[in-house]
Amino acid sequence: MMPMTTVVEKLELGGQGRTVMVKDTIDVAGHPTRASSRALDEAPDAPRHAEVVQALLDAGCRITGKTSLHELAFGTTGLNAWTGTAENPRYPGRIPGGSSSGSAAAVAAGLCDFSLGTDTGGSVRIPAACCGVFGLKPTFGRISRVGVMPAESSLDCVGPFAARIDLLIEAMAAMDPGFKALPPVEGVRIGVVPVSAHPEVLAAIETALKAIDFPLDRMPLPGMQAAYDAGLAIINRETWNACGHLLETGLVGADVAARLQAASLTSDQALADAEAVRRAFTAEVDAALDRCPILALPTMPDYPARVADASDTRAAIGMTAFVRPFNLTGHPALSIPLEGASKLPVGLQLVAAKGADERLLAVARELVRRLEH
């Protein structure tokens, strides 16, 4: 029996190919899109499939369910008082991460071959790291967002989760008809971005990178903090524009309602400043990728919090410090599952040039192959 905290609706659509579950911010014709919010409990059925869902069906995939999330996709812990919080199958008692919590948990539990999430500020890569699976944020704009909530976003990307790298690659090929064969990776240099993180997280990343025997360079990105702040300002304004009206219902959960109220105060000047940072940090990342085609850093600065501790929103501060900056720039990024010395999940994040999703996946596949051997 499927845990209803993870799968909010069971479906049976499409062919006999790979089984897929989709985050409940993505339209499936004939079914409501509720974004795990009581405020959308009476939402009408979607009139047509999101374009990415149609692409999966055209590729012969079978859609088997819609997954839960952090309400309105506006949170990083995955906690949800209305639908219940998706359990973390591989690391019980730890948060599943958000906002695409149910999609990551469904893959980790073996409920589907791969799943779809959305990533506005780390919402695929964070739950992938928390649940010990692979998660990809494609290049911004590469995968259609038609039929995805919110309708307008300058940060959000639809991306897949999978328990194995080959399934992640297969998922991307099904989602994107323009996906090409993976290129060779011989001689690819990896730029290691220095960051402050839990010692066991840093040790796990360092051990993995040394073991794979790729050429490594140190590659500082001094604009990371400013990019994080700028990304937060933009997501706040864009989420307020999309969801602020739901506060009038009085049905939005307290944590998300408080964030929306705070988001409403984002000034036009803060937004203009954020766009200037976007331009500067994009140029900084592009310059780094000219020197090293792949950048590497942790997905999260610490192990995922315990569910019991995460209701204190301070536990979530900084979770997205290493992921949100690449939503601001639009570069493709993925999280590879590792474990730290405490046998808790660590994510290794790889970043590539815009449009180089195939190269990113090729390097990830080779990295995993070398680690396994």
Q: What are phi and psi for residue 296, nearest 5 degrees? A: -135, 140
- From the candidates 36, 99, 115, 153, which is the catalytic residue? 99
Among this protein's residues, is 123 annotated catalytic? yes
Structure tokens at 92: 């019980």
DSSP three-state, residue 121: coil
Is 101 a known active-site residue? no
Q: Are 322 and 349 in contact (CB under 8 A)?
A: yes
| Active-site entry in 36, 123, 153, 335 | 123
Q: Which residues contact 361 (CB under 8 A, 6 or more apart)?
A: 136, 165, 168, 169, 172, 182, 334
Structure token digits, residue 263: 């988001």
For the chain, the distance separating the N- and C-terminal CA atoms, rounded to the nearest angstrom, is 36
3-state secondary structure of 188: coil
335 flagged as catalytic: no
Supply the Cα-derived Rg of the chain in whole angstroms: 19
Helix axes 357-372 and 165-175, enclosed angle (nearest 10) = 160
Q: Which residues are catalytic?
A: 23, 99, 123
